Structures are given as C-alpha cells and as structure tokens.
Structure 1
Amino acid sequence: MAKVVITAVGSRGDTAPLIAIGTRLQDAGHDVTLSAMTIFEDLITGCGLRFVPHEVGTTTADLSAFEEIENPAKQLMEFMSPKGMRLAGENLLIALKDEPADVLLLSPFAELAGHPLAEARGIPSIGIRLQPMSTTGAFPPALMGTWSGGPAINRMAGRFGAGVIDRVYNNTVAHFRAQLGLPKVSARTLRRRRTEAGWPILHGFSPTVVPRPDDWRPGIDVTGYWWPPRPLNWEPPAELARFLDAGPPPMYIGFGSLPMPKAEAERVSALVALALHKAGVRGIVQAGWANLDVATDDVITIGEVPHDWLFDRVGAVAHACGAGTTGAGLRAGVPAVAIPYAGDQAFWARRLDMLGASAATVPFKKLTVDGLAAAITTAMTDADLRANAKAVAAKLAEEDGPGQVLRVVDRVTSTR
C-alpha cells in the first residue's frame, strides 16, 4: 500500500471533503496523512486520520478570525496574492519536509508548491478540486460566474483565466522550484507539460449536478461528491436536539466560511431574525465564521454541526452556495434558497436553479427582509421543489466519489 499525503489549503469547505477521501483510502489500507490549518486538527483527527499542521501565512494565520478584522475582503486578497501564496506554500513545504510520500493529492491552493515538491521527489501527484476550472466550451470557469458566451467564448475565457494565473504566480512557482533545486521553467510551460502528460484532475461533485464536459481531455474526471464523515463518537448538542424535537422541521440559514466584520454580522443577524419571523417558520442559524447570533423563541444559533445529520432534520436550507453546502443540501433532498456572495457561489446557485431545487437566488448584497422571507416561504411549502430535490438526492445516493479517487490513487502508485 502507498503512503498518501493530502494537502488542504483553505477554509473548512476546502478541507472537510478531503477527509472523506482520506478515510476511504485509509480503509483500503493506504497510509494517509492530511495536512491542513491547525484550526482543523480536531475535525481531522476526530475522523481517525493522521494530521500534519501548516498555516497559510503570517497575515492570515487563522482565517476564522475575520470578526476581528476591519476589512476581511482585503485580507482574503492578501492571502491570494503572490506574496500570500508564497507564504502559504513555504509553510506547506516546511510541514511536509520530513513527511514521506508515494503520492501527493493537491488541492488548488496547494498546487503552486505541491507540483515542484512532487517533481523534486520524483513522485506522482493528483489534483483534487471542488470547482470546475479547466477550459471547456460548456461553461466558463466556475469562478467567473453564471454567464455563457457559447463554446468558443467559454473556451477563450478558460484559456484566458489559466494564462492570468500563470502570469500572476509565475515568480511564486519559480521561487519554489529554486528552493527545491529544480531548473527554471515558466508556469505556462509547466501547465502545458501537465496537460500533455494527462495529469489527473479529479472533481468532487456529482455529474448529476455538473455533467463532465465532453471536450475535457482524458484524465480530467468528475467523480461524485466526497461526503465528509462525522467525527468518531459525535453526538448532537443537547440544546439543538431539544429544539428539533419541540416543533416542525425548521429552516436552516448559514453562510459557512463567509467572513463579515462585526457590524455586518450584527446587521445580517437582525435581518435573518426578521425574515424568519415574517415567514412564520422556526429557524436554525449557523454562526459560521461571521459569528452570526440570532436567539428568539423560535430560532436557535448553533456552531459546527455535520450537515449530513442536520440537513436530514430541516425543511429547507438557505446558504451562500459554497460547493460543499450546495451538495449537502441536495444530498438531503431539501429545497434551497441561494444567497451567493462571491467566487464560485453564483455558479452553484445557477446549478440549483437548473435542477429545480432552488426557491430563489437572492444575491447576498441585495438581501432584504422581504426578499428572504418570501424565498423561505416558497422553499418550505413548494411541493414541486421538494420533489425535484428528492429526485436529485436519489441519484447522488448511487455515486461513490471517494471510490473513484481510490482507483486513481491505486493506478498511479502501482506503476512506481
């Protein structure tokens, strides 16, 4: 069996699905290590995996502390800048310096340092992604939103996006290559070499939600979702269990890892409370990284709770449409209210709408009490929405995303 090192650079949503991969590989006999930020140690070790910590950089050592930051959007931009990616990559290389590996599984933010590390060690690597970013005529890269200019324009957008990434991070990649004693090669040339070699890229979402584009090259695959396992011996908080037992299924509202300054979080908390009251439904609000706080007779605020447990007990879910939360709602077969903010969230909101599982798309920046209340009412009462969501859930239940990752890991390590 192989020694597998999985790298997770980012938020909980970027990390939790990789635990599903790790536990499946470990169950199959592989020796698995997952490297992620220190704040996720309990989440990872609680699922039985070996954990190696790394931080993302000196300016964003704890991405969960945005309530203490005046401008979280600026902080995120600093993290994604060449300087931020260099800091994150250097910390990852330090963390993995003495970690043996037969194969590296690289999340997107880990690729800049991970590709040179794999090359320097002479071992294979596999890309593990939660968003479709590879060039296709079917749609532009997910981070570009919901528009489509037709096959030619979409492909042009994909090539343009890849070119921008290569130009922006070219010097960052060169720094890691020099640090590891590798010859100087441009990021563009390295990308072309990976394409020609059929470097495997695996996507952890369902082909029911995003079918694999016919024009993707061999080696780029859609495996099905990677559902995060529950921590060993996990039990629901007693207060939450009592709340659920005390009345009909409530509405879930949460924004996950979306950062907000304290004043904005207070505004959103008040808006959510009023919208739930106007809709006349009970609510569960997840505090998330924004530290939302809503407490009334009919609303409870919770911390982190496994979505596979919670979403089976709610009537509908309202969220920012991160890839993982979108999938979790579909897995539970409950209607959604899409509240996208930035990045790939509008892409997933559009997918929910195309599946007929979304009551409405209400962009976060246009969120109002009346608009949210109306969407909540539709999500909680529309029988067609519920039937569509349950039909999707039935298809997702037939898939085995981690099993497909296991097969690729077995293939690339068996040839060494």
Structure 2
Amino acid sequence: MTKILITAAGSYGDVAPYTGLGARLRDAGHEVALATHDTYAPLVQAAGLEFRRLPADPRTRRPGTTGQAQPAAPGDKRALMRQAAAFIKELGGGIADAAHEDTGLLLLSATTAPLGHHLAEALDIPSLDLPLVPSAPTGDFAPVVSGGRSLGRWGNRAAGRLSLRIIDRLYADATRDLRARLGLPPATPHTVRRRTEAAGRPVLHGFSEVLLPRPADWRTGLDVVGNWWPWHAPDAQLPDLVEDFLAAGPPPVFLGFGSMAGGDGERLSTLAAAALRRAKVRGILQSGWAGLTTRRAPEHTDLLTLGDIPHALLFPRMSAVVHHCGAGTTAAGLRAGVPAVPVPVTADQPFWAARLASLGAATAPIPFADLSAENAVARLADAVTQAVTSPARRDHATEAARRLATEDGAGEVVKAVGRLGG
C-alpha cells in the first residue's frame, strides 16, 4: 500500500477524471488523496478519496478582486497568457502544502506536473505524469492548443518545441518561488523539464487511441493508455424529472458548453432554443458556467435545463450531443456512441473537434465565435439535423464506443504504480 497524492487543477474536465482514477487506486489497496480546488471537494469525497485544497479555484474570486474571475476573450492571447501565469503562480503557492511527510507517490495532471516535479525532488519520492492531452512535440500534429491545423511534419515538431518553451515561461515565477520555499537550488522550468525528459520517465496519457493514435516518433515511455472516467456512484440514476422528460418523446439533443462561455448564457439560451426548434428536435440544456436556461423560451415545452449530471448516465440517452469539445466531454460522447456537433471555444477544443470530425462521428465543427453571426441559428439547426439523421455518423460513433469499451485506462495506471513500487 502506497500513500498517493494526486494533484489536478482547472475546470471540471481537468479534475473529474482523476476521481475515477483515484477510486480505482483506492480499490487496489492504496491510500489516495486528491488535491484540487474547493469547488470539487464534494466530488472528491463522494469518490471515497481524501480531499486536500489547492488555491486558484477558477469558480471563485481571483486575488485582489471582488467578483468572480472573468475569462479573457478566446482571441485575446495576451490576456489569456496573463491569466494563465497568474493562475499558476497562485497554484504554486499552495501545492507544497498538499503533500504530507508520509506521501509516497505523486500523480500529476498536466497543469500541476511542472510544479509537482519540484515537490517530488524536495521530498525525494517518485512521481508520474498523467496528462489528459498530448504535449510532447511530434510531426503527426501541431500542438493541441494551436487550433488543430497541421503545419507539416517539420513545422509541427518546431511548433511543439516552441509550445513547451512558452509553457516554461508561464511557470517561471511560480518555479522560482516554489523552489525557494522547498529549499531547492535555483533551476528554471526549462532545466527541470529537460532533466525529466533525459531521464526517460514514463508519461501515461489519459485519452484513447481510438480518438488520437500514439505518435510513432514519440520516445519510449510516452504512452497512450485510454481514458480515466469521472467517478459516479455505481447505483446512480437520472433524476425522475429527467426520466419523465425522456419518456415523453423521442431521444433529445444535448447542448452544453461546460466551463466555457461564462456570462453569455442569455444569448446562448435563446440561440439554442431557436436552433433546436428549427431542427424540430427536443433538447436538454446543461446550464454549465454559461448559465444556459429555458427561462427565455417558456413556450418551448420540448426543452429541459439541467445542472451537473454525469455524462455517462445522460449521453447514451441522447440522439446527438452539441458541446465545446473539451477532452472529457469529447470522450464521453464517443463512449456513449452518439454523434456530435462540435462547437469549440478555445485551447485544445478545436483540436478535439477536428479529431471527432475526422472519425466521422461528428459534423464539421462550428467555431464558437460563429454563433454570433446572423446565420448562427440556421447553421446550428442544420448541423443538429445532420447529426441526428445521418446513419453513417451514428455507425462511426457506435464503432468508436465499441472500441473504447475494450480499454481500461485506469487499470494501466494501477499497473504503472505497481511498477514504481506502490
């Protein structure tokens, strides 16, 4: 038995997969704590894991402000970089507190790994990187945050190396402060990253090769093991309100933007209602950070608004899913075997949207910015119609779901922990 600390930070999709992974490790006999933001404490504790707090909760106030954090516009790259650096610096101030003296192993998300490596060095314990997205340079594709457009094999690799240097800069201040606090000699993020790469340490990626095959030019030790699914109670069921709605007509279309589009709920709710009505389908809106609601369309009785409900329970009952293409939501849609309408907003979402479309399990992506165009209702309605009525898309989604069902990403992590001596 090993005392394991998992660290994960960001939005729901950045954190929830580690609750299911932590539960599997606990079932394998390990003592597991998950350090993340206060927002997710109930989810962590419900999974039977010890909760430890990390600062910089995206759903609460930023330091020095009196209101909730307002995201930068997706196209404002400088503002996004400033927000990311501030988030990381605050996170670095608390990550050292998450580990206890008896911690024997650190499992690190992509966001926390550049900080967790210093913590592992100071405690002289092993760590294992468990990212949900690929970050190592490859000729197969450009960095996932670059929008999904290939630059050719040489260009993709060069862009990948540049992306890592940008990440190094984002972590520079946090690294300096954290190493000083831990009593470690000064070292830049670039130095520590190169040292880690040279050691050939294993990195297990929590996505499926069904969606993105492992690049052949990756070094040995960079493995793609399959998804880790958010934990939910084995006996969990959909609320009666949802079951009643589902029983009242044909399978509806899901529409949600997760942690995206905060403060834009009124406009998006009106647009969604109009598009679903035009497509002549029933719909379920998940409120999310945007605050989607049917309040603006009380006459549309074929719409239902929900809060947080596990996608694993809801998606298999849908005729199609319209979403922002976060890594977790993308995988959940494929797992359910339902076609998708990708509406990517920012970061890695255009990349996953393109991957879904390339599988034939989704319509052509509609960039979120295009939902402000005059033809947005007609365009979204047309995409929904395509997703619902195309047998080929449903067949591709069903085949992807069949292949995903054969994978056990969490089991691969359990084996890796065993190889590390846990």
TM-score higher than 0.5: yes
Residue 21 (structure 2) aligns with: 21
Q: 1:129 is paired with a residue of what secondary structure?
A: coil
Deviates more, 1:296-305 or 1:71-80: 71-80
Letter in 1 for 2:402: A
Correspondence 1:191-206 to 2 at 5 A: 191-206=193-208
Deviates more, 1:132-141 or 1:51-60: 51-60
Residue 46 (structure 2) aligns with: 46
Could you tell me which of 362, 384, 397 is aligned with 2:392? Answer: 384
Q: CA deviation at 1:184?
A: 1.3
Q: 1:52 is paired with a residue of what secondary structure?
A: strand
Letter in 2 for 1:158: G
Is the aligned partner of 1:360 residue 2:397? no
1:81 and 1:271 map into 2 onto residues whose CA distance is 30
How many residues are matched? 410
Q: CA deviation at 1:92?
A: 2.1
Q: CA deviation at 1:20?
A: 1.6
TM-score normalised by L of structure 1: 0.93
Letter in 2 for 1:188: H
1:14 and 1:208 map into 2 onto residues whose CA distance is 20
Distance 1:69 1:20, change over 3 A: closer
Residue 77 (structure 1) aligns with: 80
Q: Which runs of 5+ in 1 are unaligned?
A: none
Q: 1:337 is paired with a residue of what secondary structure?
A: strand
Could you tell me which of 367, 382, 402 is aligned with 1:374? Answer: 382
1:383 and 1:394 map into 2 onto residues whose CA distance is 16
Could you tell me which of 253, 256, 259 is aligned with 1:254? Answer: 256
Q: 2:125 is paired with a residue of what secondary structure?
A: coil
Q: Which runs of 5+ in 2 are unaligned?
A: none
Q: CA deviation at 1:279?
A: 0.4
CA RMSD of aligned residues (A): 2.3
Residue 89 (structure 2) aligns with: 86
Q: 2:363 is paired with a residue of what secondary structure?
A: strand
Q: 2:420 is paired with a residue of what secondary structure?
A: helix
Q: CA deviation at 1:290?
A: 1.1
Contact 2:37–2:57 (CA under 8 A) maintained in structure 1: no
Q: CA deviation at 1:8?
A: 1.1
1:387 and 1:102 map into 2 onto residues whose CA distance is 45
Q: 1:325 is paired with a residue of what secondary structure?
A: helix
2:58 and 2:322 map into 1 onto residues whose CA distance is 34
Letter in 2 for 1:47: A
Letter in 2 for 1:267: R
Q: CA deviation at 1:359?
A: 2.0
Q: Deviations over 1:338-394 (max 9, x none)?
A: 000100000000000110001231111102100000011111111111011101111
Q: 2:230 is paired with a residue of what secondary structure?
A: coil
Residue 6 (structure 1) aligns with: 6
Distance 1:389 1:58, change over 3 A: closer
Is the aligned partner of 1:265 residue 2:268? no
Q: CA deviation at 1:221?
A: 0.8
Residue 345 (structure 1) aligns with: 349
Q: CA deviation at 1:408?
A: 1.1
Deviates more, 1:69-78 or 1:33-42: 69-78
Contact 2:343–2:368 (CA under 8 A) maintained in structure 1: yes
Letter in 2 for 1:83: A
Residue 180 (structure 1) aligns with: 182
Q: Deviations over 1:171-210 (max 9, x none)?
A: 3212211110111122222111101111221111101111
Letter in 1 for 2:401: A
Q: 1:300 is paired with a residue of what secondary structure?
A: strand
2:103 and 2:69 map into 1 onto residues whose CA distance is 37
Contact 1:322–1:348 (CA under 8 A) maintained in structure 2: yes
Distance 1:106 1:80, change over 3 A: farther
Contact 2:61–2:69 (CA under 8 A) maintained in structure 1: no
Contact 2:60–2:69 (CA under 8 A) maintained in structure 1: no
Q: CA deviation at 1:259?
A: 3.6
Distance 1:217 1:312, change over 3 A: same
Q: 1:361 is paired with a residue of what secondary structure?
A: coil
Correspondence 1:59-208 to 2 at 5 A: 60-61=60-61, 72-73=72-73, 77=80, 80-96=83-99, 98=100, 100-208=102-210
Q: 2:245 is paired with a residue of what secondary structure?
A: helix
Distance 1:338 1:57, change over 3 A: closer
1:253 and 1:138 map into 2 onto residues whose CA distance is 31
